[in-house]
């Protein structure tokens, strides 16, 4: 006889190939790097999101609780085991919707649009604010302008007495490395470009 876990794995194969990883004491199910389900020994939990949360709550699906030592984490996954057993058609529609939401949210999180300036190497909230005040609204603009242009704009808006290290920090942010790893000849080229 097939156990619950294998039965759930077989069911989810209907929605496309997936990867499995150990998550929250169960098995996380991923499509295109986006997790959309958790399978435990006796239950199938589906990721919510957008209007799906309301639908799943309305259907009486309980949220997943992960108990670890003295803490309990409640995550945005809902127990759809009953739906799976008694209303497979409705369950399948919910699974498809969850996959769609999970994949699109993952795509957004890994896109340029979701990146913040402060997430780049060498950058932090105060530098992000400084750069935005200088008229550079996002990562795409920051990278396309280049370190020299960004530095000059920041100097115009914040005064000329800026530490030259800031120029190197911007260059490192664009190159994806800590500013101290920039080669001396690269630093010299940057310095010559601002004079």
How far apart (Å, rounded) are the C-alpha atoms in residues 89 and 83?
9
How far apart (Å, rounded) are the C-alpha atoms in residues 137 and 125?
13
Q: Where are the alpha helices (DSSP H) in the chain?
A: 4-12, 52-58, 81-86, 88-109, 125-133, 139-145, 147-158, 165-175, 184-194
Task: Per residue of the chain (195 residues), give pLDDT as tens.
Answer: 458 788 899 999 999 999 999 888 889 999 998 999 999 988 999 999 889 999 999 999 999 988 777 777 778 999 999 999 999 999 999 999 999 999 988 887 776 666 889 988 899 999 999 999 999 998 889 999 999 999 999 999 988 788 899 999 999 998 888 888 888 899 999 999 987
Confidence (pTM) = 0.60
63: phi then psi, degrees, rounded to nearest 5:
-70, 150
pLDDT at residue 1, as a whole number: 43
How far apart (Å, rounded) are the C-alpha atoms in residues 129 and 131?
5
């Amino acid at each position: 006889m097939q156990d619950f876990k294998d039965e759930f794995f077989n069911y989810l194969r209907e929605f496309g190939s997936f990867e499995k990883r150990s998550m929250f004491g169960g098995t996380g199910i991923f499509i295109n790097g986006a997790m959309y389900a958790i399978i435990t020994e006796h239950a199938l939990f589906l990721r919510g999101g957008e209007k799906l949360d309301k639908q799943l709550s309305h259907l009486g699906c309980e949220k997943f609780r992960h108990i670890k030592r003295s803490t309990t984490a409640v995550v945005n996954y809902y127990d759809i085991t009953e739906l799976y057993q008694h209303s497979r058609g409705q369950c399948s529609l919910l699974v498809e919707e969850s996959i769609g939401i999970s994949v699109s949210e993952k795509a957004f999180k890994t896109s340029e649009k979701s990146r913040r300036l402060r997430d780049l190497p060498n950058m932090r909230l105060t530098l992000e604010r400084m750069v935005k005040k200088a008229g550079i609204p996002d990562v795409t603009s920051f990278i396309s302008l280049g370190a020299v242009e960004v530095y000059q704009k920041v100097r115009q808006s914040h005064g000329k007495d800026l530490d030259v290290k800031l120029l190197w920090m911007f260059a490192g942010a664009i190159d994806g490395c800590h500013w101290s790893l920039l080669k001396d000849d690269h630093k010299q080229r940057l310095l010559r470009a601002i004079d």
